[in-house]
Amino acid sequence: MGLLDHPCTATATLATAFVLAASAIPASASAPPAPARPLSFSSATSSASSSTVLPGCGEHSTLRQALRTLTEDHHLAGAAVEVTDPVCGRWSDAAGTADLGTGRPMNAQDRLRAGSVTKTFTATVVLQLAAEHRIDPDASVAHYLPGLIDGNGYDGRKITVRELLQHTSGLPDHLDAPEWEHPERLRYRHFEPRELIDQALSLPHPGASAGSGFHYATTNYLVAGLLVQQVTGRSAESEITRRILRPLGLRDTYWPGDDPRLRGPHSRSYHLPEQGAALVDGTDWNMTFGGTGGALVSSPADLERFFDALLSGRLLPPDRLSEMKHTVAADPDRLWPGARYGLGLISSPLPCGGLWWGHAGTVPGGHRALGAVGPGGRRVAVAVNQVPSTEQAEEDFREVVRAALCEGRGPETARPTDGKIVEESA
C-alpha cells in the first residue's frame, strides 16, 4: 500500500493510510532516490477572456509551484489538480508522470482510486434515506441489523447510525488487524463486508466507547453499507449508483467489484513496500476490503461535480446537509491538525479564512484523491499516484489544496466556532 507510517503502532499503518490524505510521519523519514521524470503542465481554458484577467483569478503560479514541490522536491511520481471557480472558470495543472513505464505525463483527466472519498458518497445515501424517513440517524445499529455487532464487548444496541457516520461508534478498524501489516499479500483476495466486520470485532477496543470520541474506522462504513442494503433491499453500491452517479453524470466513477484492474484512461500508482525499497507498481488491486468505505474509482472532474452538488444542496435537503456538517474534533494522527469530522465530511481551516469541506482518500497501491469546496464555491480535486513518505511531503500535499482555494483571496478573519461543534456553509 504506499503505506504511511503511524506515529504510535506499526499495526495501524494501513488503516491510517486508507483514512485520507495525511497522517503524522516521522520527520526523519526520507524520500527514496527517484528516476528522472518528465515534468508537464496543462491548463484548461478559463471562462474568462485570455486577454482580461478578472480580479482574484490570476495566473495560478502558487498552485503550479505547489505541484512542482511534490514531484521535484519530494519525488512523487505524478500530481494533478483541477479547480473550478464560479467567476474564474475552470483550470487544471499537472506535474510529473502518470506511467513510469512509458513516461506518459500526468494529467487531471485520468481516473484513479478514490479511497476514503467513497465514505462521503455512502453517508450521502444514508442521509437521503433519513430524509425519506426510512432511516433514523439516532436509532441503534441493532434496530436495523440485529446481531451484527455483538460480542467482545461491542454492542450494536448502544451504537447509533449517526455515530457510525461520524466515527464516534467506538468500533475498531479491521485494517488495524495484524494480517494487514503486509497488505500486498492480500492484494488479489476477495473480502465480504461481514467477514471484515467480524475481523474488526475480534480486535481490542480502540479506547473510545460509543459516542465518547473520534476513532476513524473504515469498518463503520462497511456497517453503513449493510444498513443501506437492509433498508432498501438493494446493495449500497447499486443505490449510490442509482441516486448519485447516474443523476450527476459521473461517467468516470464506478465500483470495480473484484476486478483488480482500472478501466479506461488512468494513471498508474506506485508505493514503497518499505523505506529504502524500490517503487512498486500497485495499480492492480482487489478493493473489496474497502467496499462502501473505500472502493470507488473516480476522476478529479467527477469528484468536483459530486462535492459541488452535495454542498450546494442538490443531493440533500438543508436540514440533512446541516446535520452532515456538525463536526467533532478529529484525531490529528489520523487526519491532520485543525481537521474536524462531520457525517462523512471533513472540514479544514484555510489560511485565507473560512473552511474547506470535502474528503480525501489513500489506497494501498499509491493513489490518493481529495475533493473539496472552499468559500465562495471554488472547488478543487487533487490526484497523486504515489503517497508522500515524509511529514513535510504530507504538509506540501495539503499546500496544493490551500493554494488552489486561496489564490486570489486575501486573508480574512475565519468565523469563530464554539470549540466543539462546527456548523458551516461551504
Active site residues: 116
Backbone angles phi, psi at 22, to 5 degrees: -160, 135
Class of residue 49 by CB neighbours under 10 A (exposed 0-12, middle 13-18, buried 19+): exposed
